[in-house]
Amino acid sequence: MIRTLLHYFKPHLRLFVLDMICAVTVSAVDLAFPLISRKVMYDMLPDRLYRTFFTVMAIVACAYVLRSLCYFVMTYWGHTFGVRVEADIRSDLFAHLQMLDFEFYDHHRTGQLMSRLTGDLFEITELSHHGPEDLVISALTIAGSLIFLFRIEWRLALVVALLIPVFIAIVMHERRRMSSASVLVKQTMAEINTEIESCISGVRTSHAFANEAVDRARFERSNTVFKGAKSGYYKAMGTFMASQEFFMGIMPVVVITFGGYLIMTDRMNYIDLITFMLFINSFITPVRKLSNFAEIFTNGTAGLRRFMELMAKEPRVKDKADAVPLKVDAGSISLDHVSFSYNGKQEVLEDVSIDVKAGETLAVVGASGGGKTTLCHLIPRFYDVNAGAVRIDGTDIRDVTKDSLCRAIGIVQQDVFIFADTIRENIRYGRPDATDEEIIQAAKNAEIYEDIMAMPDRFDTYVGERGTRLSGGQKQRLSIARIFLKNPKILILDEATSALDTITEQKIQGSFDRLAQGRTAIIIAHRLATVRGADRIVVIEEGQVKEEGSHRELIQKNGIYAALYRTQQLGLAEGQTG
């Protein structure tokens, strides 16, 4: 873990060195004052060297001004160093999260990941800045004080030296307890973040069902667990602090007691005892810093451990060492005896073979849970096949880079994700370097231009969280505009209109038809009326291809597709009659 942390120190080494120089200066001033005071009491005052005395005191005052400036540098630039380290770590962690595949996100909740990107990294920042600083000040001040104390009176110094290991043993014992409690607090904090994210994202559903009390109760359960974990942590901290305060209180008592005995036996004088007490007072700040370091080290290493655990996660779907960019010429797609399962046990797709010609529109239909969406997730390589191969223009997609593969494919899903930004930036997401003119043309192609121009701020209209200020049809057309801007060779429509009403669906169908022109298109559809014009239709049931042909051919075959089509037509007729 330390090597990992030091790796992030390198780009900001100048600030770290500046912080350490200031820490050493602070320790030097703290060590110098008792020695100077002893010199003053032994020589300057008895010999009436008053001018020298005031000169030395002025120098000491200047040294404390320098000490104050060092604390300013450690506070400002030291924290700046810590923040920069935190920013670098967060940047690497975010980039790593982007590399992880769909399977990882299938098993991790958003709130937990947010906690690791925020709370955990703050603790690492504190460790980066305060950890080395507090350790240097404490080590130099305590070690230096002990050296000078042994030179003044070794017997009394030996008593002080024997007390310090006892204190360190107590610190290390309580630190282990605090470490376990700190990990538990972070885990429960992640759970709370998850509940908050879930409740806020679903607030409209909560209001719709009048289930605010249910969500509140669920949150309170997590909050109660957090309070218990935090209480355990503070109990461990309380024991730690009590032990520390006892040590710092008992040490002056021991020094005065034993020092008084040495004075009584003429083995020590008052000046040396006063010097001892000044050094003991110098212990207070480093001892507090040492205890502070123990807490920072506990929290920081817990956060660093969780960071390293996340960074150790490897995507199952990743580029080969010799992967090359995909070059799509025609855009043909071939699924060659493909089998796939999510958990390695129950297969979702079993020995599926489908060939999609360049420029062809293929519709994939079937009952829910049959494997339609899974099939389309394999083409852009969101998951890797367990057996068989997926090829584009004859090239196995495992032999090309994921980035080039995703750039060649445009996907419009049922659940469109709209960013909390303007209309313009949401469309521009299809191609970040697009000009405003290209964005306007994409909006026109998606038949949403008129809607945008009727909005208060037109293309600069803010759409709200997840596009809450837009209708379902507008969200879909916005996603279609992105694809027009992206201009891919291959198009996948994953039940893109199943959540819309029939009238809105018919309006958007024209946009889809225009989008599919000149592209290889795969359409997953629940409503069979929307795929009648497809060049070919494939029926998937229980992970296998059951039927294949045009709409007319499948109706004449009078199989699964014909039965589904008649059922939907009957339902539509009954709805219109009603």
Lowest mean pLDDT among 55-69, 453-467, 508-522: 508-522
pTM (2 decimals)?
0.68
Quote the pLDDT of residue 54.
Answer: 92
297 band by pLDDT with thresholds 50, 70 and 90 = confident
pLDDT band at 441 (very low <50, low <70, confident <90, very high): confident
Alpha carbons 501 and 79: distance in angstroms, whole number:
55
Burial (0-12, 13-18, 19+ Cβ within 10 Å), 14: exposed
Average pLDDT value for residue range 404-420 = 81
What does the pLDDT read at residue 570?
Answer: 66
Give the domains, in start order, of the chain with CATH numbers.
2-311 (1.20.1560.10), 423-487 (no CATH)
Q: What is the pLDDT of residues 537-557, one digit of tens each?
A: 888 888 888 888 888 888 888
SS3 state of residue 229: helix
pLDDT given at position 578? 47
Considering only CA atoms, which of 167, 161, 129, 141 is closest in space to residue 291?
A: 167
What ranges in 265-322 are assigned the alpha helix state H?
Answer: 270-311
DSSP codes joined into one string, 95-154: HHHHHS-HHHHHSS-HHHHHHHHTHHHHHHHHHHHHHHHHHHHHHHHHHHHHHHHHHH-H
The tens digit of pLDDT for each residue in 155-182 reads 888 888 888 778 777 776 776 677 677 7
Q: What is the pLDDT of residue 201?
A: 65
pLDDT value of position 162: 86
Burial code (b: 16+ CB inside 10 Å, e: under 16) for 104-113 equals beeebbebbb
* pLDDT of res. 64: 92
Give CA–CA dist 204/188, Å, rounded: 26
Average pLDDT, the chain: 81
Residue 61, H or E segment: helix 50-99
Cβ partners under 8 Å of residue 401, min gap 6? 319, 323, 324, 325, 326
In what order do the strands lie in the sheet containing 349-356? 349-356, 333-340, 387-392, 395-396
Place 502 in a pLDDT band, splitting at 50, 70 and 90.
low
Lowest-confidence region among 219-228, 264-273, 320-329, 564-573: 564-573
Count CB-CB contacts under 10 A for residue 214. Answer: 12
